[in-house]
Structure 1
Amino acid sequence: GLLAPLLTNDGIPAVHWQTPPPDALLAELAPMLADPAAFYAPPDPLPAIKRSHKVPGPEGVEYWLKFPSKGGETAWAKVYEPEEPTDRLPTAILCHGLCVEQELWGTTAGVPHALIRQGVRVIAPEAPWHGRRMLPGRYGGEPLIATAPRGGPDLFRAALSEIATLTGWARGQGSHIVAIGGTSLGALTTQVAATQARNWPAALRPDFLLLVTTSGSLRQVAVDSELGETFGLGGALKDAGWTDETLQALSPLTDPVGEPVMPPGRIVMVLGREDSVTAFDEGRALAERWKVPPENLYIRDQGHFSAAVGIIHDDAPVQQLYDMMMKAG
């Protein structure tokens, strides 16, 4: 699988650990935990966005956007759109998973392609610490694990500000309908964005949400999952003094607390019964809490990666999202 290289016993550690002690981190984050809305407030004003030249792609044209990130670096996002976009072209902002390098995957399959080929503008942000944003001497996404549990709030804060910025940009391009969503880490990120967007200006609030393989608890993914076991994250946290209780204290910044900005009928979820990373029971509990209608909840007898890749062969969830976006637009 994608994590197979981390299983080799060649003496090279899978992660350069920088685990913070619980007392110090909880004290530092106390003001943010008391006011998550301020922590996740979008930039004001929104940063100026630079656009690259357009080049032909398999389903239209492609180009890049870049702008200053809240984390102090440059945010990047690749855009796919029809050659002749309409004035009210709907947009989907789709976020990728941990350790995923989008340039290696391309857009020939999966969620992005299923929407691109139907004429939706797709914006694919590069997550903090991935792709062009990878830190020297680190692989894509490593700082999220290495600095856990601090990495979650840090990544989410940067990513949410970028999602808000890209949503505002899409509105400025004429999009009356904007969906956000993602797979795995991308789903964990956008579900927090969906709840925090209740506090954002109307133009920055997404209209639809697509979650592919998700959990309502970041603590579960870190400690009680195959991913956490593979990286040795649970052991690193325990050695640093973290407990379930102290990890749960971070949930106002890491979990989808409260209701999302969009109504239940505008949420589509894909869950795998055999998911050993984002636990199925946690994902289903979130779907129940948010009252996602049965026709929008796709439960498959697959694991974490196969449920996501399975959309290549059965894109019914994406088609459902597309149909709802078209009706709303």
Structure 2
Amino acid sequence: MPGRYGGEPFFAAGPTSSIDLIAGQALESALLIVWCRQRFGGKLALAGISMTSFVARQAASRCHLWPAEARPDGVMLISLSGRIEDVTFGGALAVTLGLDRALARAGWSREALARLSKLIDPATQPALAPSTIVSVLGETDRWVPYDDGLAVTQQWRLPSANVFRYPLGHLGMPVQLTRDAAPFERLRQVLAGR
């Protein structure tokens, strides 16, 4: 959106904007996957960091509903969380921005948001094989609650070789990933069938 920073629409028109953005971007990703397959061929992975990890997680949860050519062969979830209401009411960034208080003033409770969030929360089990999903978590992440992200990896039974944990917070993750390519190497191995 012209004149707005990347995450502004996610927060500004909450809470339904998060559902619109995540669901919409997941469907756009499916279309891009089809285009990439037609244009380049080969295996394709979908990755998301922070807010876009919700998009990649949505694809991993729901891609069985898409045509086969629209499904990713692998997914990487970086700085993920389990439930959008935990990010909204428990994440440090949302609290610092006053999002939790603004939603409460607008009549939204955590319980109401939890009911609505079920539309984009992760499925009980992923639509992709757990062995094709790679997770990268910051153990001190306060913006996107770490415990919820870890719970998703456990509930989905991701292989331990596919779960990377670093002793850092949210903003340190991009720097960490420039220094340690192990998660990307693992994703490459996943796409190669190893």
TM-score range, shorter chain: over 0.9
| 1:99-114 correspondence runs (5 A) | none
Task: Output the TM-score relative to the length of structure 1.
Answer: 0.57
* CA RMSD across the alignment: 1.4
Equivalent residue for 1:149?
15
Distance in 1, matches of 2:18 and 2:123, equals 15
| 1:199-218 correspondence runs (5 A) | 199-218=65-84
| 1:113-132 correspondence runs (5 A) | none
- Pick one of 184, 195, 198 that aligns with 2:50: 184
Asked if 1:220 corresponds to 2:86, the answer is yes
The structure where helix makes up a greater share of residues is 2
Equivalent residue for 2:64?
198
Distance in 1, matches of 2:7 and 2:146, equals 23
Following superposition, the deviation at residue 171 of structure 1 comes to 1.3
Following superposition, the deviation at residue 176 of structure 1 comes to 3.0
Identity of aligned residues (%): 35
Equivalent residue for 2:187?
321
Q: Deviations over 1:285-317 (max 9, x none)?
A: 000000011111111111112123201111101
Following superposition, the deviation at residue 174 of structure 1 comes to 4.0
Following superposition, the deviation at residue 186 of structure 1 comes to 1.2
Checking the alignment, whether the CA contact within 8 Å between 1:212 and 1:308 is kept in structure 2 is: no
Distance in 2, matches of 1:160 and 1:140, equals 16
Matching residue's letter, 1:270: V
Q: Deviations over 1:176-214 (max 9, x none)?
A: 311101110111111012212110111111110101111
Equivalent residue for 2:156?
290
Return the index of the structure with the highest Cα Rg.
1
Task: Output the TM-score relative to the length of structure 2.
Answer: 0.94
Distance in 1, matches of 2:53 and 2:31, equals 18
User: Please, which runs of 5 or more residues in structure 2 have no aligned partner?
Assistant: none
- Pick one of 253, 266, 283 that aligns with 2:119: 253
Structure with the bigger RCO (C-alpha within 8 Å, sep 6+) is 2
Checking the alignment, whether the CA contact within 8 Å between 1:152 and 1:254 is kept in structure 2 is: no
Matching residue's letter, 1:309: V
Distance in 2, matches of 1:193 and 1:174, equals 21
Distance in 2, matches of 1:323 and 1:239, equals 48
Equivalent residue for 2:39?
173
